[in-house]
Every structure is written in structure tokens, then in C-alpha cells.
Amino acid sequence: MRILLTGGAGYIGSHTAAVLAQRGHEIMILDNFANAERDVPARLKQLTGQDMTVIEADIRDTETVTAALKAHPVEAVIHFAALKAVGESEVDPLLYYDMNIIGTIRLLQAMQAAGVNRIVFSSSATVYGQPDSTPILEDAPTRVENIYGRTKLVMEDLIRDLARTGKLKGAANLRYFNPVGAHPSALIGETPRGVPNNLMPYVTQVATGERPHLNVFGNDYPTRDGTGERDYIHVMDLAEAHALAVEHIHANDVSVTVNLGTGNGTTVLELVKAFETATGREIPVNITPRRPGDVASYYANPALAAQLFGWQAALNVEDMCRDAWRWQAKRAGINDV
């Protein structure tokens, strides 16, 4: 298939581009490089041998996106481009409505104008908010707990509406749990700007010595060791799931909403231990109060992805830690990994 990846130079998009190219698909990347490094396409070429077409554009620029889709016809779009910082979304809601919701509407308009009618969308487990129970199934109630989560739910609804009314032939809303790790080659990975908000990038920066210790946000949650429990998923497993999802909606003309997680919960302290085991690096920790807005525990029931497109995560938390560390160590110039 020929597939357009919006945000294809970003963290999850670049790994998905690598996996799709390796499965024989032809990839076009559309990215404004607001949160991506310029040489990601060159690194993807080194990794896959494919010289991917790259369009530098904003998804809100319907004219340019339509022209790109007409000049390079594709059978599907995988839509990663978005702003994704929960805290920032609460500071500047209109920015998030504009970039995420208006951006998605503009993209859907461009797709319609160019006759492209299949989309895979990056949603998030954040749409479940504080869950009533775990593991979480796709029919669990959705709850908006921040502006970022609101935009994800609205974008999912837009896509479901277009599928229901026949404007889209195929659609997959993929609800990611906590993506971490990097390509085992250490050629692509996650590059957060400034102080990382998320656990794994923070841990890898403690391991390089860039930060003295990890602040553990609360050890009084009702979990095995009192620290927050999440369903971490290796970005390579996540990328594989996108390939299977796009192939599934292409073959079957269906609209689906699917969890992508491993089904296993890991606490903060368990992740730290797994990191130390996988890398031999010590991670000093400092217990601090809870981070406002955090939930105690959530993890997926990923059975639907297995049933629909035969996907299930293959990599474990130690694999995630090892690959996240190889990437970060290489960037920090540490060579003994």
C-alpha cells in the first residue's frame, strides 16, 4: 500500500514508518517538524533503504495537504500529528483545539477532496480517565479529565461519524497505553524537549547522569508497592500494531476502536528495577507527593486487537528499558552499552 503518515517524523510515527517500509509499504511523511528532528527521514532511509517522500507542512493547511495527496495518491492515512502534553493543554486549551481538532477536520477535508477514505488514528488510553476497573476494555466509559483527553475523544468521534455516514470506508481509532522504548538499532527514538514529563525518558536521563535521581510521584496508591501502575508498551510492538490495523481496515472496510497495550501493569518501582536489571545502571529514587491528575492504576485488556488483527505485544518491560537505554546512551555519547 501507499500510506501517508502525518507526524511521521515524530516518535511513534517514525517507528511505524520503519515497520511499514519493512513490510513492503510505500511511505509518505507529512510533518511540520515542530517536534521532530530534521534528519529522521535520512535515518529512516539508512534503516529501511526506502527514500520516503517528505512533505513539510502543517495538517491545518488543507490546500497543501490536498495537493500532496493528489500528487502522491495513497490508500490510507495514519494520523499521528498532534500536540500531546497534558499539562500544556490545560494552560492553552485553544491551541490544543486548533492543532488537534481543527487540524484533524482539515486533514479529513483534504482526504475527502483527494478521494482518500481510510484512516488510522492515534488515540490514547487517556480517554478512559479514572477507570472503574482494570483491565480496561474498549466499551468502558470514557471520561474527559483534561483538554488533551477531550481533543482525543472529539477526534475519535469525528472519525466514527464519518465512517458511520459512509464518508470513510475504513477507520481505526487506536487507544495507546504507555508507549516507551526505541528501535533496537538506536537510530530512531524519543526526543523530549526540556525536562521529560514521562517516566521512561526521565529514567534514561538519570541513567546518563543528566539528572541526579528520579522523583517517584507518590508511594501511597492502592497498588502492590504504593506507586502508580501503568501498561507500558514497546514502541516497536505499537508500530507493528499500526501495520496490522491499516492492513485490516484496507482488507475489510470496517471501523474499529481498539486498545493497544500489553495487558500487564507495571509500577514505577518495578520499572526502575527492570531498568536496573536490563542495563546494569543504578537509578536513585526520591519519593515525592503525588502528581495532580495521576490515576493509581490502569492497564489494557488487549483481546480485541488479537481477535481483529492477530496482534499481541511480544516485548517485555526489560526489552523496553534496554532499547530506551541504548537510544539515550548513544545520544549522550556513552558507548559501553
For the annotated catalytic residues, the residue numbers are: 148
Cα–Cα distance, 198 to 190 (Å, whole number): 11
For residue 317, what is its C-alpha cell? 518491560
Measured from each CB, the residue nearest to ligand WQD is 228
Between 50 and 264, name the residue whose CB sits nearer to ligand WQD: 264
Q: What is the 3-state secondary structure (H, E, C) of 283-307?
A: CCEEEECCCCCCCCECCECCHHHHH
Q: Which of 238, 268, 272, 300 binds ligand WQD (CB under 6 A)?
A: 268
266 near ligand WQD, judged by CB under 6 A? no
- Determine the Cα–Cα distance for residues 201 and 209; give it in Å rounded to an integer: 13
The piece of 54-62, 163-171, 215-223, 302-310 that touches ligand WQD (CB under 6 A) is: 215-223
Under the binding rule (CB under 6 A), the answer on residue 79 touching ligand WQD is no
215 binds ligand WQD (CB under 6 A): yes
Q: How many helices (H) and strands (E) does the chain have?
A: 12, 13
Residue 126 binds ligand WQD (CB under 6 A): yes
Min. distance of Cβ 179 from ligand WQD in angstroms?
Answer: 7
Residue from 14, 35, 89, 178 touching ligand WQD (CB under 6 A): that is: 178
We find the least distance from the C-beta atom of residue 295 to ligand WQD, in angstroms, to be 8
Binding range to ligand NAD, per CB under 6 A, among 77-85, 136-144, 241-249, 302-310: 77-85
Interaction of residue 80 with ligand NAD, rule CB under 6 A: yes
What phi, psi does 132 have (nearest 5°)? -70, -35
89 forms part of the interface with ligand NAD (CB under 6 A): no
How far is Cα 186 from Cα 172, in angstroms, rounded to an integer?
A: 29
Of 298, 145, 274, 284, residue with least CA distance to 221: 298
Interface of this chain with ligand NAD, residues 212 to 231, rule: CB under 6 A? none
Between CA 98 and CA 90 the distance in angstroms is 14
Q: 88 or 318: whose CB is closer to ligand WQD?
A: 88
Q: Are 179 and 31 in contact (CB under 8 A)?
A: no
CB of 56 to ligand NAD, least distance (A): 9
The three cell numbers of residue 31 are 510533518
Distance (Å, rounded) from C-alpha 18 to C-alpha 6? 14
Distances (CA, A) of 141 to 103, 137, 153: 26, 9, 12
Q: Does 107 bind ligand NAD (CB under 6 A)?
A: no
By CB under 6 A, the residues from 8 to 67 that bind ligand WQD are none
C-alpha distances (whole Å) from 48 to each of 42, 245, 300 are 10, 21, 31
Q: Cβ distance 92 to 83 under 8 Å?
A: no
Q: Which residues bind ligand NAD (CB under 6 A)?
A: 6-7, 9-13, 31-36, 58-60, 80-82, 84, 99, 103, 122, 124, 176, 179
Which residues here bind ligand WQD, judged by CB under 6 A?
84, 86, 124, 126, 178, 197-199, 202, 214-217, 228, 230, 268, 291, 294
